[in-house]
Each structure stands twice: as structure tokens, then as C-alpha cells.
Amino acid sequence: MTAPRTATGEASGQLRLRPPRHRVERRAIAHWSLRAALVSVGVVAVPAVATVAVSVMAAAPPVAVGGLWALTAVVAVPALAVTLVMPQWRYRVHRWETTNEAVYTLAGWFWQEWRVAPMSRIQTVDTQRGPLQRLFGLSTVTVTTASAAGPLRIDGLDSERAVAVAEHLTEVTQATEGDAT
């Protein structure tokens, strides 16, 4: 006799690691791009400001100033690459899904992580909206579990959808037997 199947095709009590079905919001690309650009500008500004300061105040030889500009370029090229490539890449990878049995996430850039958290293991559900997220109408849902791997994060959700996801998870976890340990 086989276990009854849920709407997601999973046998009751038997969760399997599988790719989640939903993408994050497309607006997350712009959010991640702006965040990366702000970090990149800060990182590139340090050698650039140092170069200008040395060339103006110290009357440094042209070779030293040229070397500092080269250092600035060495820092700027990867910063620009991360700003342009990382948000698109993350959007293609990041997925999420919630069912009545579990939360599924797929996240990462170079190191990708698939996770599944059964409802019985969920301890808390939180939503966060930083200033940049609010600018783009986005939120993050964090699902804390009784796991050494740490919480599951669903970044880049529409703010209204994040509230609905948090409410759904709260209702289902309250109705799920177990002590989340």
C-alpha cells in the first residue's frame, strides 16, 4: 500500500529535495544591481581617492600615480563584472515554494544550495524590508528551523506576497504536529 499523495505529488510524510517552482520577482534584479553598484562604488572609491590624494598632495612620481591608477582598475573591473552579472545570474537560479508540508528554496551564485524544511521543523517566520527593498516593493521571508544549517531565506518577493507567504506558513505550522526541534 502506498502513502496518499499531496497536491504536489509527494507521499505524505516523505519529503524529497527537488527544485522549487517559483521565481523571485523580476524587480529583484534591479534591487540586487543597485546594492552591488553601491558596494562597488565604495570599494573602487578607496584606491581612486588615494590615487588622487597622492598625485595632488605628495607630488608623487608619475610611475607611482600610474601604479595606483592600475590598482584602481584592477579593483574596478571585477566590481563592474559583479554588478552587471551577479543580479541576472541570481535571478536565473533563485527559486522558492511553500506547500502544506514544507518550504523549498534554491539560492546561491557560485555555490548553490537546495533546501527543504518540513513544516514540523519551522520555529519562526519573519519578513524583512530594508530601505532598498522598499524602494523596489520587495521583501525577504526568513524561515528559522531547528537545523544546524541555519534559516531558509526567500529574497526578492513582492511585499504583499511575502506577507501572504508568512501568514500561510504561520497557519500551517500552527496546525502541524511536532515541537520544531
Q: What is the domain count for the chain?
A: 2
- Choosing from 73, 89, 105, the residue where a domain stops is 89
pTM of the model: 0.81
Q: Residue 49's domain spans which residues?
A: 31-89
pLDDT in tens, 49-70: 988 888 887 667 777 788 888 9
CATH code of the domain in which 110 resides: 2.30.29.210
CB 125 within 8 A of CB 102: no
Cβ neighbors of 119 (< 8 A, separation 6 or more) are 100, 101, 102, 103, 169, 172, 173, 176, 178
The pLDDT of residue 149 is 86
Residue 156, φ and ψ in degrees, nearest 5? 85, 25
Instruction: Say whether both 151 and 115 belong to one domain.
Output: yes
Instruction: Say whether both 80 and 121 belong to one domain.
Output: no
pLDDT in tens, 142-163: 999 988 889 999 999 999 999 9
From edge to edge, which strands make up the β-sheet containing 152-158? Answer: 122-128, 138-145, 152-158
Instruction: Say whether both 38 and 65 belong to one domain.
Output: yes
Instruction: Say whether both 77 and 114 belong to one domain.
Output: no
Neighbours of 149 (CB within 10 A): 9
Cβ neighbors of 24 (< 8 A, separation 6 or more) are 91, 94, 95, 96, 154, 155, 156, 157
CB 142 within 8 A of CB 151: yes
Domain membership flag for residue 67: yes
CB 62 within 8 A of CB 54: no
Instruction: Say whether both 164 and 105 belong to one domain.
Output: yes
Domain membership flag for residue 161: yes
